[in-house]
Structure 1
Amino acid sequence: MILNRDLYLERLYKHKDKDLVKIITGIRRCGKSTLLFDLYHKRLLEDGIPADHIIKVAIDNIKNADLKEPAALYKYLAQQMQGKGRCYIFLDEIQLVENFEDVVNGIKRDFDCDVYITGSNSKFLSTDINTRFRGRGIELKMFPLSFSEYYSYCQGDKRKAFNDYMMYGGMPYLLQEPEPMQKAEYLRTIAETVVIDDIVERYGIRNKEVLQALLSLLCSSIGAYVSSRKITDTLRSNGHATVDHKTVGSYIENLCDSFLFYRADRYDIKGKAYLKTLYKYYAVDIGLRNAFLNFRQIEPTHTIENIVYTELLHRGYIVDIGRNEQKEIDFIARNMKDTYYIQVSYTLIDEKTREREVSSFRKLDDGYKKIVITMDDDPFTDLGNGYKKMNMLDFLLDEYALEKA
């Protein structure tokens, strides 16, 4: 079953034939290979590109094991392109090739080609794309299915679909598994074999038990401030007596580099500066988060906060936590055009809760929209003082919901 990922397909297609290395990044099994090898391949064929001018190499396939050696990969690609004119090169899981940038820069220099690569490790790509590709690389960040994508396939009652999404998340394969037990088992398998084992191997982690304990703590701390020292103290009190904060900090970095978690920094709105202590971490997929906790601790408030955060990333926003004097704003979402202050609350029915949520917006007079996203069934509401209330499903199912507020 091949799922259409139109948003990512169009983002990728608009860079076709530009002199840039197109770099698709994201967690394992989120759909990068399908996007490139199936959906984009089909689009190129529809454009009239000859099939033999599209060269696809899955580096993680055992039959291509010898191509992990840079010289061998270059030689293979050169042979495939010889005498053909412009070719389109797809290299999947390129991080498995040592010094892969030399191969990519070499074939771009020596042949007429448009190069696309995927990777599931941010450090080898994101931190120095311009250096590796001499200023000619662009990254496309890919995520598991958003709720809008998920709902376009399952249809039916929106609230029921969202309840399922809150439990199992949006890993694409789940749409082929109708039974809850099968969904849960698949996510547990992904969590253990694909995520944990992959991270242990990739980073040479010596203590898998500490990594698993750390994962559980991060998954339990969605929406809470986290520091490596605080986590270290908790791990020590739970029996990991020899762990130190440097190791914990390194492991957290590894988890983020593998796109399993994203770090939200704190931004002082009045001081116009980032704060250097305490962060929040959000899981790339709420279903994987739940699987790491064996489907316990499913708190709706923290779950919807995580889903809003990843949805904002999916839409291309830079997302921080806001500090307004002594008050906290859940998210500041920014892109090239707009900035939004966003609070996430399960309900505003209770007057005390409503006052707590909107009080964070007070004394902000910069003209940016201030929105509270809730699970309340009532439609879009003006709360007064320029504050708006928006239903969670309306937000998730309309990519322009914030602009319309």
Structure 2
Amino acid sequence: MLERNELILNYINNELESVPSTVNSKLTKKGIKLNTRLELNEIKKQIDNFIDEKYANRFIVIPGLRGVGKTTILYQTYEYLFKEKNIPLNNILYISCDELNDITECNIRELVEIYLKNKFNKNIRTLNEKVFLLIDEAQYDKNWAVSNKIIFDKSDNIFMIITGSSAIHLQYNADAARRLKRRVLTPLNYNQHLNLKHNQSFNNLSDSLCELIFTGNPEKAIKYEFEANKALTNIVEYTSSEWDYYLKYGGFPTVNEDKPLTDVREEIVTMTNKIITEDIMQIKTITSDNQAIAKRIIRQLALQKPGEVSQHKLSNYLKTAVSNVNNILDLLEKTELIFHCEPFGGSSRRLKKPWKYYFASSSIRHALSMKIGNTMKNSEEYEGILIENLVASNLFNLSNTQINSFNIYYDPHKDKNVDFVIQDSFENPIPIEVGRGKKKKGQIKNAMNRYDSEYGIVVANTKSSIEKNGDIIFIPPKTFSFL
């Protein structure tokens, strides 16, 4: 039987030999190179700074859901290092911790020490040339944060990119958190979808929409919306059904591989099941019975309209304790498959009122609904539910990526309530009403008066383009999805 060090060295040698051909096949479909996520540009910038001996974030951590493109970004980084920066292949180590874990217990620090000793005859402290570590699925090493913090501190010649499921959020320690640069990879917004599918990006529109939401000034957004719509008409492959396609399937890069839609839906459903059976286990070990309960909770969330979730009703339906329902909902949130909105108001209201839950992408909701059997007969009502999830998830993702984060709530009032209320620090709240079809002013005006808001936002097909009517801003759902 091979010793542990031999097993690890064999794995390293195999990766150094096989990854170049793997990268080439993974980044090419039907002879055409895959387009890149916009996040890759930031990684390239940091790599260039590192190579040029300038200040660089050389400890980058990329958490995210399965299927959002984390491994692809590592492969594209590998290709950039080898083909554009002329880094020797021996100096680029890609490893997948889940694969290594199938061979022997994964320990990143130990693996790096073996790699440096056998390929450079050095240790971490004495290394005198630049090395790049691309580490996938890091959550399989429970001590990855400590290991990589030590590697970071001992050598200025190692550049690390770490990816993993959302579970790695929970494995940071204070020392590691101060050193790493976190870049969450979320499901795709419409801008990112178009960039991957058609190699067209509309960052100006995305940025101006953010400005519009928090200032109420629509001038830039109107300008860039017009430019984006004009540019889209000039894309030969772009059709009028593209946005509907995105709403239902486009949250994940796999949809751009010209697969049958039934296959795309099945992949998303399989991904959600793996999150429950595998990724949750990286956070907390749960029984097979609780895995089954988690799947039923997800099924219930996919079948019902967005609304306040009663843990007591779920408890009765699932024949399990309320505390168990709460624990499973919490675990599902920690995987970032779902997230919640609390009621707007004081702390006592938030304690008394239940939460609303949404999926990380409208694509997940649609795939699960189709798999289970969508019970809604009205297609407009169903599309309105998907749009509400899209608005919620785009706002949620934005709140987790902005320097100044904001909070997202739902409106708990029963009479003429709106869908969301967002608030940045102590600024006046901004009510947002979402819907399919024409929306009148009454609902949003009522909420604006109630919350003393300077303006309100309606995301609906009421207008064909961004329009500010007095103190109400109308944004078409397609335009909002660029956020």
Normalising by structure 1, what TM-score? 0.81
Q: One-letter code of the match for 2:193? A: Y
Query: Deviation digits for residues 318-348 of structure 1, max 9, x if unmatched?
Result: 4411548776443345679998542212122
Corresponding residue for residue 76 of structure 1: 114
**Structure 1 unpaired stretches of 5+:** 236-240, 400-405
Structure 2 CA distance, aligned partners of 1:15 and 1:335?
A: 30
Structure 1 CA distance, aligned partners of 2:325 and 2:412?
A: 30
Deviation of residue 23 (structure 1)?
1.3
Corresponding residue for residue 141 of structure 1: 184
Structure with the larger helix share:
2
Which shifted more, 287-296 or 332-341?
Answer: 332-341
Structure 2 CA distance, aligned partners of 1:274 and 1:361?
A: 19
Percent identity between matched residues is 19
SS at match of 1:23: strand
SS at match of 1:57: strand
Deviation of residue 214 (structure 1)?
0.9
Query: Aligned pair in 2 of structure 1 residues 232, 313: CA closer, same or farther (>3 Å)?
Result: same
Deviation of residue 73 (structure 1)?
2.2
Deviation of residue 103 (structure 1)?
1.5
Pick from 247, 251, 272 the counterpart of residue 328 of structure 2.
Answer: 251
Q: Is the 8 A contact 2:457 2:474 kept in 1?
A: yes
Pick from 384, 394, 400 the counterpart of residue 479 of structure 2.
Answer: 394
Structure with the larger strand share:
1
Pick from 136, 160, 164 the counterpart of residue 92 of structure 1.
Answer: 136
SS at match of 1:375: coil
Query: Aligned pair in 2 of structure 1 residues 334, 104: CA closer, same or farther (>3 Å)?
Result: farther
Query: Aligned pair in 2 of structure 1 residues 72, 40: CA closer, same or farther (>3 Å)?
Result: closer
Corresponding residue for residue 120 of structure 1: 165
Q: Is the 8 A contact 1:58 1:64 kept in 2?
A: no
Query: Aligned pair in 2 of structure 1 residues 70, 12: CA closer, same or farther (>3 Å)?
Result: closer
Query: Aligned pair in 2 of structure 1 residues 22, 169: CA closer, same or farther (>3 Å)?
Result: same
Q: Say whether residues 1:321 and 2:352 are aligned partners.
A: no
Structure 2 CA distance, aligned partners of 1:14 and 1:307?
A: 31
Deviation of residue 251 (structure 1)?
1.2
Q: One-letter code of the match for 1:347? A: G
Q: Is the 8 A contact 1:329 1:361 kept in 2?
A: no
Corresponding residue for residue 347 of structure 1: 437
Query: Deviation digits for residues 5-35 of structure 1, max 9, x if unmatched?
Result: 4432234455554356321111112101111
Corresponding residue for residue 155 of structure 2: 111
Pick from 193, 196, 209 the counterpart of residue 276 of structure 2.
Answer: 196
Query: Aligned pair in 2 of structure 1 residues 390, 337: CA closer, same or farther (>3 Å)?
Result: farther
Query: Aligned pair in 2 of structure 1 residues 389, 40: CA closer, same or farther (>3 Å)?
Result: farther
Query: Aligned pair in 2 of structure 1 residues 198, 63: CA closer, same or farther (>3 Å)?
Result: closer
Deviation of residue 387 (structure 1)?
0.8
Q: One-letter code of the match for 1:342? A: I
Pick from 253, 256, 267 the counterpart of residue 186 of structure 1.
Answer: 267
Deviation of residue 67 (structure 1)?
6.0
Corresponding residue for residue 403 of structure 1: none
Q: Is the 8 A contact 2:109 2:151 kept in 1?
A: no
Deviation of residue 360 (structure 1)?
1.6
Q: One-letter code of the match for 1:60? A: D
After superposition, where does 1:6-405 map in structure 2 within 5 Å?
6-13=37-44, 16=47, 17=50, 18=56, 21-39=59-77, 41-42=79-80, 46-47=84-85, 49-61=87-99, 65-66=103-104, 68-70=106-108, 72-79=110-117, 80=119, 82=122, 83-112=127-156, 113-122=158-167, 125-127=168-170, 129=172, 131=174, 133=176, 135-152=178-195, 153=197, 156=237, 159-192=240-273, 194-199=274-279, 201-202=281-282, 203-206=284-287, 207=289, 208-221=291-304, 223-235=306-318, 241=319, 243-268=320-345, 275-276=350-351, 277-293=353-369, 294=371, 296-297=374-375, 299-315=382-398, 316=401, 318-323=406-411, 328-333=417-422, 340-348=430-438, 351=440, 354-365=441-452, 367=454, 369-376=455-462, 378-384=464-470, 386-397=471-482, 399=483
Q: Is the 8 A contact 2:444 2:457 kept in 1?
A: no
Deviation of residue 95 (structure 1)?
0.7
Q: One-letter code of the match for 1:187? A: I
Structure 2 CA distance, aligned partners of 1:196 and 1:128?
A: 19
Structure 1 CA distance, aligned partners of 2:179 and 2:349?
A: 29
Q: Is the 8 A contact 1:129 1:137 kept in 2?
A: no
Query: Aligned pair in 2 of structure 1 residues 280, 74: CA closer, same or farther (>3 Å)?
Result: same
Structure 2 CA distance, aligned partners of 1:151 and 1:331?
A: 27
Deviation of residue 134 (structure 1)?
5.5
SS at match of 2:459: strand
Deviation of residue 118 (structure 1)?
0.9
Q: Is the 8 A contact 2:366 2:386 kept in 1?
A: no
Structure 2 CA distance, aligned partners of 1:205 and 1:126?
A: 19
**Paired residues, what number?**
382
Structure 2 CA distance, aligned partners of 1:340 and 1:7?
A: 29
Normalising by structure 2, what TM-score? 0.69
Q: Is the 8 A contact 1:88 1:115 kept in 2?
A: yes
